[in-house]
Amino acid sequence: MMKNSTTILTYIKSRITPLLVADRRKPNLTGLHPGRRFNSTTAANPSVHDQDIDFPGGNVKFVPHMRFLSESTQERIPCYRVLDDNGDTILGTQSVQVSEDVAVKMYNNMVALQTMDTIFYEAQRQGRISFYVTANGEEAINIASAAALSMDDVIFPQYREQGVLLWRGFTLQDFANQCFSNKFDNGKGRQMPAHYGSNKHNYVTVASTIATQIPHAVGAAYSLKMDKKDACAITYFGDGGSSEIEL
C-alpha cells in the first residue's frame, strides 16, 4: 500500500529501472505496460491510406512540410507528419539527427513519463490524490519538443506537458510534492494536483482554464522579441482549446 509521496516515489523508481533494462533486451515486455509502448506507434486503423487519417468529421491529409496558416479556406487543415506508421522518415520531411546519447536520454524520459503517469493516475483512482492528468500517447511530443528547446525558452503548458518539465530537470520528488501538496511543493499547496509550475525551469504554472495560456505565450513572445532576446515562447493546447475564444 502506498501512503505518501515518498513511498510513491520509491515505487516509481523501482518500476522504471526494470522497464528500461527490459526495453534494451527485447520489445515484448511483461510489466507495467506489456507491449504498449511499441503498439502505440502504429496507427489505430491500419487500413487507412498512408496519405490521410480517419478523423472525426472526415479524413485529414498528411503533409510532409510544415507551413504556418494565418487562415485557411480548406475544409480540413492538413496534418504535418515526419514519420510513417513504421517509424521511418517520410521523404521530403525535414529531420534532425540526434546523437545516441540524446536519443537514449529522450527514450528514458519517455519511459519515465509514462511510468510516473500510470502510478499517479492509479494513486488518483485510489483516492490518494484528488486529481491527475496523464500525457498518455503524447510522450514523444512532450520530450521531443522539450529537447529541441533551450532553457531560456519559456513554456506555457496546458496540462499534459509534464514531460517537458521532466526533461528540464523537475524531479520525480518535485512532481510527487506537487501532487500531494506537501510542504516541499513549489506552489505551497495552492494549486490543484498536476498544476505544476517552476521559475527555475522556466515553466509557467498550469492553469485549469483551457486556452488561456495561448495569449500569455503570445505576449511573452512579443516581449522577448522587443527585448531582442535569443529565446522563444512555446505553448501547447488540445483541439478542445480551439473552441475557446482566447484562441
Ligand X SMILES: Cc1ncc(C[n+]2csc(CCOP(=O)(O)OP(=O)(O)O)c2C)c(N)n1
Instruction: Please state the closest distance from residue 76 (CB atom) to ligand X, in A.
Output: 17
Closer by beta carbon to ligand X, 215 or else 238: 238
Closer by beta carbon to ligand X, 64 or else 219: 219
Longest dimension (CA), the chain: 56
Q: How many angstroms separate the CA atoms of 193 and 25, rounded?
A: 35
Q: Is 30 exposed, middle or buried (0-12, 13-18, 19+ CB in 10 A)?
A: exposed
CB 196 within 8 A of CB 162: yes
Instruction: Please state the closest distance from residue 239 (CB atom) to ligand X, in A.
Output: 5
Residue whose cell numbers read 525551469: 201
Residues 6 or more apart whose CB falls under 8 angstroms from that of 121 comprise 132, 134
Q: How many angstroms separate the CA atoms of 236 and 216, rounded?
A: 12
Closer by beta carbon to ligand X, 84 or else 246: 246
Question: Could you list the residues that contact ligand X (CB under 6 A)?
Answer: 160, 208-210, 237-241, 244
Closer by beta carbon to ligand X, 85 or else 244: 244
Q: Write out the three cell numbers for 237.
A: 493546447
Instruction: Please state the closest distance from residue 56 (CB atom) to ligand X, in A.
Output: 12
Closer by beta carbon to ligand X, 128 or else 160: 160
Instruction: Please state the closest distance from residue 166 (CB atom) to ligand X, in A.
Output: 18
- Which residue type is seen at 234? I
Instruction: Please state the closest distance from residue 234 (CB atom) to ligand X, in A.
Output: 16
Q: Where are the alpha helices (DSSP H) in the chain?
A: 5-25, 36-39, 100-125, 139-148, 162-167, 172-179, 213-226
Instruction: Please state the closest distance from residue 97 (CB atom) to ligand X, in A.
Output: 30
Closer by beta carbon to ligand X, 8 or else 110: 110
Q: Is 70 exposed, middle or buried (0-12, 13-18, 19+ CB in 10 A)?
A: exposed
- The total of other beta-carbon atoms located within 10 Å of residue 87's CB is 9
